[in-house]
Structure 1
């Protein structure tokens, strides 16, 4: 004779718990759809953004003696992939496709020009200037024109983002984009253009002051 299984009052069987969980997920899912298709409900449960930032504080003031004579606009596509040994990409690994757009300025540091680098004749009609070569500034990424095209992450990386203070951080690709932009600026004619523009600026300025002959050269320390 088979003894019937007694169930404790108030206890839900295991299969019933699973069914209840599935039903709850479906209710939340379809509720989300209703909120998205009904404008009134969407506005009712919509989010609001408030800027509670404090005022910006002036930390220091620095005098600038350099003449920014040229600026280059650059764009680079960064494809950064990080793999884990002995694990497939679906489990551990990331790949980010990022478009970085930014500028690099070329300048001549007029603060390095000494007294011996400027020669003026007695009747102040001729001037000779020796300037340092043009240099490149630090690449500056434009956040309005830089964006991630795609992000692929393994399961462990997705779980790690849940406990990270900066999930989906793009510091690595941004740093790499700045590096590539800086390298491209070095291979361009940006410094040559800056020296040409500086020469034209100084010649125009000194001619307006009465100098008839102006000679500008580069190479002084």
Structure 2
């Protein structure tokens, strides 16, 4: 029935959605009408040196990755047009694989002066933390319900969730890309070249230090 409570409630919700959508469209078309514009002032002071560390890691391989993070937040029993959002976040980053030569002990190198050989027991290669490329990482799109659109006028979108997901996905991809194998091979080639120039032949047993 046109006059039933359900019909009246549905009609009220429809009117609210239309009004909110119209206001959002108007603000988007005429930015000067938005009373909640943000003015940014950079008052950041100079960076202060906290510590200096000597690095002994040989970064022997690096992979570049890109991922599209697709996150949807639904509100139970509420239509998407009213509340909820779906975000597409494009992230690009790199992951390097390295061998920490600083962990080599005296027992890791066995030199035979007679045979002119050096046995090198390398530690296992590791993956560094993903490095997100800020210049090529951005919020691609975000579909929001009417309520979320209104909230966005008063609070900024927190993108930490998307960055953390992007780091995890890129890190997982790096594990499957064979970077550690390539890093170990490149490290062996580098050390072989050094020892060869010194007149020694390098050998690399499979057991680790």
Report the TM-score when normalising by structure 2.
0.77
Larger-Rg structure: 1
Work out which of the residue numbers 171, 176, 185 in structure 2 matches 1:182. Answer: 171
Where does 1:27-176 land on structure 2 (aligned, <5 Å)? 51-123=42-114, 125-164=116-155, 167-176=156-165
Following TM superposition, where does structure 1 have runs of at least 4 consecutive aligned residues deviating by more than 4 angstroms?
A: 47-51
The CA deviation at 1:200 is: 0.5
Contact 1:95/1:152 (8 A) holds in 2? yes
The CA deviation at 1:69 is: 0.5
**How many corresponding residue pairs?**
178
Going from structure 1 to structure 2, the CA distance change for 1:219 and 1:59 (only over 3 Å counts) comes to farther
RMSD, aligned α-carbons:
2.5
- 5+ residue gaps, structure 1, are 1-24, 36-46
The CA deviation at 1:58 is: 1.0
Going from structure 1 to structure 2, the CA distance change for 1:219 and 1:96 (only over 3 Å counts) comes to farther
Going from structure 1 to structure 2, the CA distance change for 1:129 and 1:116 (only over 3 Å counts) comes to same
Distance (whole Å) between structure 1 residues aligned to residue 187 and residue 75 of structure 2:
51
User: 3-state SS of the aligned residue for 1:75?
Assistant: strand
Distance (whole Å) between structure 2 residues aligned to residue 57 and residue 219 of structure 1:
43
Distance (whole Å) between structure 2 residues aligned to residue 59 and residue 217 of structure 1:
40
Work out which of the residue numbers 189, 195, 204 in structure 2 matches 1:216. Answer: 204
- 2:202 matches 1:204: no
Distance (whole Å) between structure 2 residues aligned to residue 218 and residue 53 of structure 1:
51
Distance (whole Å) between structure 1 residues aligned to residue 57 and residue 205 of structure 2:
16
Report the TM-score when normalising by structure 1.
0.73
